[in-house]
Copies of this chain bind each other. A is one copy, B any other.
Amino acid sequence: MIIIGEKINGAIPSTAKAIAAKDSEYIKSLAIKQAEAGADFIDVCASVDDAIELETMKWLIDIVQDATDVPIAVDSPNVHTCVESMKYCNKPGLFNSVSLEGDKIDFAFPAIADTKWECVALLNSDKGIPKTAKDRSDVFTDLMAKVKEYQIDPSRMHIDPLIEMLCTSEEGISMVTEVIRGIKEQYPTIHVTGAVSNISFNLPARKIVNQAFAVLAMNAGMDSFILDPLNQDLMGMLFATEALLGEDDYCMEYIGAYREGIFGQKK
């Protein structure tokens, strides 16, 4: 189970405010809290104007690296920003993200091929977001041809099958769980990732939907989660699900995480 802490993202109003105010203490505290809560990567996404995106990424990455040893996920819709941001990192992290849109992959993969960087890849292409499991799996097949071409081991890839909002669905999440199962069957060592909270857009009591979704997605094979690691209920749900799925003998990991205060007892 891999946790990608999502809180240092300029799309979150409180973080955007801290970025605008150059409030390094606030960013530092987000880094430290997420590290303590068990994040395996700390996502850094500036979400600012293009003109200042790179300098903002450097400022954020420097703060996070000063505060914790947890590797960084360089996060931007602009693949060039991600490639440049890699240079600010003092150790390999997570490239977030590529997709089959345009020349993203042919720009990104040369930069990470001979490194230990891992990489998030979204299953969309120039045709947009595929509507069916078949079309999404076809994008995955094209993606993996590129992964092979650049000799990147599948275990370094985090495939994001694209989690869409539940409220407009008539079939629930059956399409996305089918895609996840297909990916893991073909490449057992690959990671399947996603932003858990996308599922609950426009619904009340979103946290409940997010938690139930995380359980079902993990059951289908998702093993990498872009989420708020300070959300104790959600973190607890992931540890409980690992135990229920037989991946945690005698619940030792679950009990250990509880004792560390990762869930169930507010620090």
Question: Would A169 and B246 be within 8 Å (CB), given that A204-B264, A216-B219, A255-B204 are in contact?
Answer: yes
Residues 56-88 of A, flagged 1 when their CB comes within 8 A of B and 0 if not, give 000000000000000000000000000000000
Task: Answer whether residue A54 sits at the interface, using C-beta atoms and an 8 A cutoff.
Answer: no
Look across to chain B and name the residue whose beta carbon is closest to the beta carbon of A171. Answer: B246
**Distance from A89 Cβ to chain B, minimum over Cβ atoms (Å):** 34
- Give the docked Cα–Cα distance between A166 and B240 (Å): 10
Look across to chain B and name the residue whose beta carbon is closest to the beta carbon of A203. Answer: B251
Q: Across the interface, which residues of B come within 8 angstroms of A172, CB to CB?
A: 243-248
Residues 207-243 of A, flagged 1 when their CB comes within 8 A of B and 0 if not, give 0110111011001000000000000010011001101
What does DSSP make chain A's interface, helix, strand, loop or mixed? helix
Task: Answer whether residue A249 sits at the interface, using C-beta atoms and an 8 A cutoff.
Answer: yes
**Distance from A218 Cβ to chain B, minimum over Cβ atoms (Å):** 9
Q: Across the interface, which residues of B come within 8 angstroms of A219, CB to CB?
A: 216, 219
**Distance from A264 Cβ to chain B, minimum over Cβ atoms (Å):** 3
**Distance from A239 Cβ to chain B, minimum over Cβ atoms (Å):** 8
Task: Answer whether residue A18 sits at the interface, using C-beta atoms and an 8 A cutoff.
Answer: no
Chain A interfacial positions (CB closer than 8 Å to B): 166-174, 199, 203-205, 208-209, 211-213, 215-216, 219, 233, 236-237, 240-241, 243-251, 254-255, 258-259, 263-265
